[in-house]
Structure 1
Amino acid sequence: MQAVIKSFEGMIDEPDDYVSEDPANDAFLLRMMIGPAHSPGIDAFDILVCTPGWLAQETEQKGPQLRRHMLVMATLDLTRAQDFLRRRVEQLTAPNWEDIARKLARIGHWELED
């Protein structure tokens, strides 16, 4: 079984409509709707796409932080981020959806995860 991203959504803005005011210092919460390649059904996996500048600002303001489910890139480019994530997700295979979903949960926060 193979996973594919069937769509991307934004938690606040839609990724296709978002224009960053400062691409070197920004973040975007991206939802990946992922399902089996040749079957219906999807699960949501959330990932924070951010820049080192944004991350530095967050830690300056809020102090040290433990983070998961984050993609860091030099400048915020959602098209490039989506292409990267699509390639990574499509590399994953497993005998069943549950095993693939566990692997995907290392990339993004799975809606069925605690």
Structure 2
Amino acid sequence: MEAELRSLATQDGEFLTDIGPVGDSFCFTVRAEIGSKGSVGADLFDFDVCSPSWLDSELDRHSVLPGGQRLFMRKFEPDAVELYVRKRLRHATGAKWNEIASKIGEWARWEFAG
């Protein structure tokens, strides 16, 4: 089985091209709908896209922060985010969907993870 990206948007359903940070400090939660290639349906996976400036400001307020499922980029570029997701999905293969979802879960929060 192979993973396939069905959509990429904010948690509120906005297209990534429709959002834009004001300044150089940002952190957006992105939602990817991903399913197995050739099947119907998809599961939701969330991850944060943040700037180094945002990280700096958070570290000013907290002495320790978890990395979790965050991607960092200096400038918010929706096409670069999508390219990154598609590249990671090429490596998300397995005999069963849970194997694939587990691999995606290394960099995104699966809606059914617990």
Question: TM-score if structure 1 supplies the norm length?
Answer: 0.90
Q: In 1, distance between residues paired with 2:99 and 2:17?
A: 30
Report the secondary structure of 1:38's partner residue: coil
Q: Provide the identity percentage.
A: 27
Q: When the two structures are aligned, how many residues end up with a matched partner?
A: 113
State the Cα distance separating 1:74 from its structure 2 match.
2.0
CA distance change for structure 1 residues 13 and 26 in 2, over 3 Å: closer, same or farther? farther
In the alignment, structure 2 segments of 5+ residues that lack a partner are none
- Of stretches 6-15 and 91-100 in structure 1, the one that deviates more from structure 2 is 6-15
3-state SS, counterpart of residue 16 of structure 1 = helix
Give runs of ≥4 in structure 1 deviating > 4 Å: none
Report the TM-score when normalising by structure 2: 0.90
Q: Does 1:48 align with 2:39?
A: no
Question: Which 5+ residue runs of structure 1 have no aligned equivalent?
Answer: none
Alignment of 1:1-114 (within 5 A): 1-12=1-12, 14=14, 15-22=16-23, 24-114=24-114
Query: In 2, Cα distance between the equivalents of 1:36 and 1:13?
Result: 21
Instruction: Identify if the C-alpha distance between structure 1 residues 35 and 67 changes in structure 2 by more than 3 Å, giving closer, same or farther.
Output: same
Q: Which amino acid aligns with 2:57?
A: Q
Distance 2:84 2:102 in 1: 19
